[in-house]
Amino acid sequence: MNLFLPLAIKQGAVFAYPTETVWGLGCSPFHYDAVMRILDIKHRDLNKGLILLVGQWDQLGELFAQLPAKDRMLLNQPTLDPTTYLIEHKNLIPSWITGQFKTVAVRRSTNAWIKQICAQLGHPIVSTSANVSGQKTVRNKYVATKQFYSQVDFIAPGDVDSKTKPSKIIHLSTQKRLR
């Protein structure tokens, strides 16, 4: 991995990358201008919120540390399918990530590149599908490159497993499955 990528991301780089489910657009969740750039690329409303990806749950910092032990144990249970959890953010996550919601959507990734970049950053990355809002999601590198090459700072290596379905969404504290 390029040693300058974490620095570029911390300074506001926007990138396209493969997740377990679809191609995504990402940046540092703490860089307001980078997040606004992604929302502009997607024509996405700020109030809808964005997903965060981590390689390890403790990369959520104080948010993870403040969770009840039962919730931390649940997050650490292995899952067969990609699972996104809605976690009450307690105003520890910027509003430009959470939108109008009292929860933040977070998924622990199994993707090696994502795990490595999050480890180098020491915090999550933004994850939103690489598409204009309301249009078909991108599931291969060729289409991601064709659609977003001129709008992002770099395109990460890798591919999406074409058999993988979108992630399950579960509200952490209630265990209610929303998707």
Looking at residue 4, its pLDDT comes to: 85
Under CATH, what is the fold of the domain 5-171? DHBP synthase (3.90.870)
The mean of the pLDDT values for the chain is: 94
- Other C-beta atoms within 10 Å of 119: how many? 14
**Dihedral pair phi/psi, residue 4, rounded to 5°:** -85, -10
Looking at residue 64, its pLDDT comes to: 95
Helix, strand, coil % (nearest 5) of the chain? 30, 20, 50
Enumerate residue ranges in the chain where pLDDT < 50. Answer: none
Radius of gyration of the chain (CA): 15
Q: Which of 41, 105, 108 is nearest to 77 (CA)?
A: 108
Looking at residue 123, its pLDDT comes to: 97
